[in-house]
Structure 1
Amino acid sequence: MAGHKYAPRLNGRRLQCSSVQLSICAINRRYCEYITLYNRFRILILSLSQGEYTTGWTGSGASKSDKKVGVVGLTLFDLRRLGKVDKLGMVGVSGGKFPAIRQHLDEKIGQVYKDLDLTFTSYPEENKTDPEAYKAAIDALEPGAAVIIFTPDSTHYPIAKYAIERKLHVLVTKPATQLLTHHNELITLAEKNGVICWVEHHKRYDPAYSDVAPPLSVNLTSSARGCLNPSHNWRPSVHGQERILILGSRLDATSAPKLDLCPYFSYYLSSHHIDICAWMLQDKAYPTRVVASAATGIHKGTGVYTASWTAPLGAGIHSAQHFHYMAEKGDIHVDQAHRGYDVTVDGAGITWYNPFYMKYTPSETGHFDGQRGYGYISIEKFIDGARLVNSGGAKPEDFDKQGFPTIRNTVLTTAILNAGRISLDEKRAVFIEKKGDEWTLV
């Protein structure tokens, strides 16, 4: 897909911010619920990534973020201790990184938590560099094994396609694909090959969202909530991380056309709350029109101001005021409704912690104790689903009805993101329509 018209671009400009607006038309909704999956089969797992989210290693040592020892690798090591996972593999581009990664994992995980087996097969070999090492790694697996993909956005589709065609279960990080046509193709391929393909939208397991989302909620029914109203979601991330995300687009940038507006459209950052909104409104409303706007350069900005008199009575606050101002070298964030959990240390400043995501403090017995974090649960649910399908206890399509982030259940997220990219490039509204069983862009 390198050079595709709507793939991300990099032309030396810095995207400061972007917003996506969508109008939504209401239809009927049905309830569904999560299930807990049990079976006795262990599964082989191949993780495609050497990066921070998988290992906590950045190339210059341990990450300084809140994911200092990673999420994917640590979760899989613990699930192997619990008997759900068997052999593990890890794939990157440069085999020369693996000695440092193994040392990092031993220091930060092996010497911290008890009874974790950190062994894994690595691809490519330690003295080789191979951008397509994933093919040899996937070819070494038997049908029914699982592949977890945490690679640059532009590689999600070809890697997932290669794995699904070999009857392997797939968990791919968000966004599933950059193009709606590719997403639709993965839906068809997964159904044809009898495997599950899920998207790692871990916010669906965040108790702050899952407790109130319509597919699960018993606390707030559709009739009690009433019809939808305008919503505003924002997600600023620490500057500097955009270099990592932009580098993932360079494969496309070499042959993609240069544009004056929005050289890089963050599919990853935008996907989080778009998916939550689509999930909460599933079977009740769907997006029909997307208009995206963006500003380039460091002295231009886009302001979005939302006010209404539609907050529910008894909300527990006088007004849910959220204010966020982003400047070149700093920002201001005021949350009048909720005073967050933060820690301030001399010399280090303030740090905000998310106690619901991953818990890295060992248990009283010295074992890993983060099984309740939604970062962990997101991976465990996928593995449980794959094992249940392998044992004959469920069919892949069963999970489409249960609120999980399956490739079919996340198609509207990709539709909105793809439409946003087109809207920026062509400076027009993009419409989302359903033709038969397939969503399309107009």
Structure 2
Amino acid sequence: MVVDMSLNTEQKKLNLLIIGTGMYVCGRSTKGYGTVLPAVMQQYQAGTIDRVLVASKSAESFAIFDAKLGELQELMGIEMPCVRYPMGNCTDGNAYREAIANLPDPGAVIITTPDHLHTEMALAAIASGKHVLVVKPLSPTVADAEQTIQAAEKYGVYGAVEFHKRWDLANLKLRQAIADGSIGDPLYFHVEFSQRKIIPSETFSAWVADTNIFQYLGVHYADLIYFVTQALPRRIVATGQKNWLSQRGISSYDAIQVLIEWSQGFTSTILTNWIDPNCNGAMSQQKIEAIGTAGRFESDQTKRGVQTITDLGGIEDINPYFCQPYRRLDSEYTEYRGYGIDSITQFLKDVASIVEGNNSPADFEGRRPTFRDALVSTALVEGARLSLENDSQWVYFTEKFHPYLK
């Protein structure tokens, strides 16, 4: 079926719940304003969204959120009321459940919480008949992912994972190069992806022991390689190093290196760490290379040709294509553009199309990073962890992507 993206000026407005108030939502621990909040505010201004609810574990966390929201409203010229959960000055790990119960139909939920909480929160939203977007990864295990997929199908709701790299034009160019055969048959992919020390030591210190750098960061490129080739993983092996973080009492790998063999006969190496210096010119250092029988494709996804050097910020390598503020052409206000914005906006448009009856959730299979499509990346996350826990043994996959040791 053709996916209908036509505009309906009389379409029903969506009601939206954002679960989480961290870095990706509003820019906590950074000088920016995140990605989710700017994207949502622009859709609110466009008339796609009616009510906005925000849930966090504690009312205290809203101090930073409210400050960021206030600044962003002034910058963007948008007044967007938000209903907060928990209400009052308290801590409640189940505040999201009350928020889901109070979210009117038609409703959608964006889950931006630690990885190990994704499944229970997604299941609660799905059971309430809400469409769901989960930040990567979908879940830490294939069993959890299957449970979420089955629930979404049972309740007839749309579920997707926020794999924004699928919207990056550089990566779409890689997909095209593979599709048109210009680099021949892929032989191997090489990825390097890292972030600053502040991420595990401060920003995610409360839950860093419940994840690892491949699960948190490397999963992006695991999904991307699957997306651009449609190959399936045969087996995976992982090794890692514990040093700098362990010396500071943090139970997590500094770096993880993963080798994956794929069904089309090529391999991929994904090298990740999150102990780059905090003075690094970019939050993330990243690049991908694809080598084929007729050529190669290289993409430096950190150095995008824009660098600023200022007294206030020092040297900064800017990615103008992910999520950046720009002065509007028709006013003095700011708007946000980039593939990070596009990923969230596309989900909201897809949900609106489903609500209007133009599409069903099944129409987006094979076209979006749906829950079912995320089984591959979830299997690789679980497989890498299983390999690390078993002296870096090779881990294999069943036809339904369950990892196992021989």
TM-score in terms of structure 1 length: 0.74
Output aligned runs, 1:33-432, within 5 Å: 36=5, 38-39=7-8, 40-58=11-29, 63-64=30-31, 68-106=32-70, 108-114=71-77, 116-213=78-175, 217=176, 221-243=179-201, 244-249=203-208, 264-282=212-230, 285-298=231-244, 340-346=305-311, 348-364=313-329, 365-370=331-336, 372-402=337-367, 404-427=368-391, 428-432=393-397
C-alpha RMSD over aligned residues: 3.2
CA gap of 1:85–1:273, structure 2 versus 1, over 3 A, is same
CA gap of 1:53–1:331, structure 2 versus 1, over 3 A, is closer
Distance between the aligned counterparts of 1:267 and 1:197, measured in 2?
20
Distance between the aligned counterparts of 2:254 and 2:50, measured in 1?
50
Q: What does the per-residue CA deviation read over 1:23-73, in whole Å, with 9 as the maximum and x for residues that have no partner?
A: xxxxxxxxx998745342210000001112212244xxxx23xxx122211
Instruction: Work out which of the two has the higher radius of gyration on C-alpha atoms and give 1 or 2.
Output: 1
Deviation at 1:100, TM superposition (A): 4.8
Q: Answer whether contact 2:126 2:157 (CA < 8 A) is retained.
A: yes
Distance between the aligned counterparts of 1:301 and 1:84, measured in 2?
42
3-state secondary structure, aligned to 1:203: helix
1:10 maps to which residue?
A: none
Q: Which runs of 5+ in 2 are unaligned?
A: 248-252, 260-270, 288-297
Q: Which runs of 5+ in 1 are unaligned?
A: 1-31, 253-262, 307-321
Higher strand share: 2
**Quick one: which amino acid aligns to residue 332 of structure 2?**
G
3-state secondary structure, aligned to 1:237: strand
Distance between the aligned counterparts of 1:399 and 1:73, measured in 2?
24
**Quick one: which amino acid aligns to residue 374 of structure 1?**
Y
TM-score in terms of structure 2 length: 0.81
**Quick one: which amino acid aligns to residue 286 of structure 1?**
L
Distance between the aligned counterparts of 1:56 and 1:112, measured in 2?
15
Distance between the aligned counterparts of 1:33 and 1:268, measured in 2?
34
The size of the alignment, in residue pairs, is: 364
Identity of aligned residues (%): 25
